[in-house]
Amino acid sequence: MKKKQKRQQPVKREEKPATLGDLLNQDIMQKLKDQQQILKDEEEKKKQAEIQRKKEEQRLREKNKSFEELFSESDMDWKKFK
């Protein structure tokens, strides 16, 4: 009887596609990451400044309201206290 030969399948290596990080120099990659962090920090500062500005506007609006505006916004039923 003839022996059956087992065919060995070629070992498939998982080839990962080359990423931008692989192609760039490590120094350049680090500079890009630093720049990204700086941009994130600036964006966060802008958001905080905008929140602070809105709070200040709200405070000034509340401060400058007339008696009529305060009275109309009140939840109390003033007829009960007559």
Cα–Cα distance for residue pair 5/28, rounded to 1 Å: 53
Query: Which whole-number Å values give the CA distances from 48 to 42, 52, 80, in the listed order?
Result: 10, 6, 44
Tell me if 30 sits within 8 A of 37, measured CB to CB. no
pTM metric for this prediction: 0.51
Task: Kindly state the average pLDDT of the residues 33-53.
Answer: 97
Residue 70 in this model has a pLDDT that exceeds 60: yes
Residue 57 in this model has a pLDDT that exceeds 90: yes
What count of residues does the chain have?
A: 82
Query: What's the chain's average pLDDT?
Result: 82
The amino acid at residue 39 is L
pLDDT band at 82 (very low <50, low <70, confident <90, very high): low
SS3 11: coil
Ordered by start, the domain boundaries in the chain are 48-73
